[in-house]
Structure 1
Amino acid sequence: MSHPAFYSNNPAELITQAFRQIEQNQMQGLPVCNEQLTTEIVGLTRFQAFWVGALITPWTLQLIMLPATADAEQLVESDHRTYEFPQGKVVFMTTENEALGPYQSCALMSPLHSFETQEQIRQTAVEVMELMFQPPAEVEQTQSVQVAVPGRLDIDRESKSTEKSGSRRDFLRGALK
């Protein structure tokens, strides 16, 4: 299948179609999948020379980036790049998709069995995107988005609170240990 070198228009629908195809053909019925969830892209927006958003699939929540301009660096599969977002640095790994071409991703969570509905995971994805684009001064001083290992976004676990409220926002900000 042919794909463009970059996406001048928002590729949300193309991303959704490509990953729904994977969902229906390669991942259907696998134990890692949460049958309550489906593929959805959340908050896709321009960032530098890329489109970046949170991709929900039944098996993972990840950040995904596709080139938005001809100036976007062309990467090959398995390349790693670190990008500076308002909240901090995030490492992405390049993967190839037949329908999309090369794209970059950063795994956030997998598996997603703790989510009972699409709305719950969608709200988590919205909160991730909001946190990614907040300058550190807008987030409590003891909490920030950090990269723990290459390709993974983690949450700094320096929160001084010992209470475990169990909210997704607390999880995303690192209050739960």
Structure 2
Amino acid sequence: MTEQDSAAEILQVYREATARMAGLPMYNPALEPAMFGWQQLDGAQVGILILPWCLNLVWRPDESGLMPPKGESCVLSLASGEYEGIVAYNESVGHYGSASLLSDTRGLQSQADAQSLAAEIAALIFTAPQPSTDKDSAAPDAAAQAENPRRRELFRRMLGASQGK
């Protein structure tokens, strides 16, 4: 199965679920299911799933036997960190992992806003951290990483969206 086939199959599962979710309070009718940034990365196919009710990081490991049973916790290890999620299963897709990135999309005004947010998140999690440029320091400065203004703004934006602001 190609990367694009895998992304399309996962997306189809959620397109079918969209009609059932439409009446829920956290449903945002301005959004439609879409997969953003689907790619092969560190032994798995990964991407960001945009849905009218949430944004999720989703992945399928190259070796399907590496996933625990449906409903169990699983971890995706990337150069940027570890992402804990839950194993999902669908007959046409098989086992795949899903981790919540944003659980309430009502603050997003349009599909373009959702894609912009997905792009910002992808830039953070699909990119390996850059080594320190300080030649006197062997380890990156944790305080400097925590104060990354781009990351701070992204999380502020995500928090505002989740609170409907």
With the shorter chain as reference, the TM-score category is 0.7 to 0.9
From 135, 153, 157, the equivalent of 1:170 is 153
Partner of 2:57: 63
Shift of 1:114: 0.6
Partner of 1:159: 147
Q: Does 1:96 align with 2:79?
A: no
Aligned AA (2:70): E
Shift of 1:141: 5.7
Contact 2:68 2:74 in 1 (8 A): no
Matches of 2:143 and 2:92, distance apart in 1: 41
The answer to which structure has the higher helix fraction is 2
Aligned AA (2:54): T
Aligned AA (2:18): E
Partner of 2:25: 31
Partner of 1:78: 71
Aligned to 1:136, the other structure's residue is in SS state: coil
Shift of 1:62: 0.5
Shift of 1:89: 1.7
User: What's the % identity of the aligned pairs?
Assistant: 25
Q: Does 1:12 align with 2:10?
A: no
Partner of 2:108: 115
Matches of 2:36 and 2:62, distance apart in 1: 17
Matches of 1:100 and 1:57, distance apart in 2: 18
Contact 2:56 2:101 in 1 (8 A): yes
TM-score (structure 1 length as normaliser): 0.71
Matches of 2:68 and 2:115, distance apart in 1: 29
Distance 1:142 1:33, change over 3 A: farther
Matches of 2:50 and 2:107, distance apart in 1: 14
TM-score (structure 2 length as normaliser): 0.75
Matches of 1:88 and 1:8, distance apart in 2: 25
Tell me the number of residue pairs that the alignment of Structure 1 and Structure 2 aligns. 150
Partner of 1:45: 39
Contact 1:42 1:53 in 2 (8 A): yes
RMSD: 3.0
Distance 1:114 1:48, change over 3 A: same
Distance 1:62 1:69, change over 3 A: same
Shift of 1:29: 2.2
Can you give the 5+ residue segments of structure 1 that lack an aligned partner in the other structure? 1-6, 145-157, 162-166
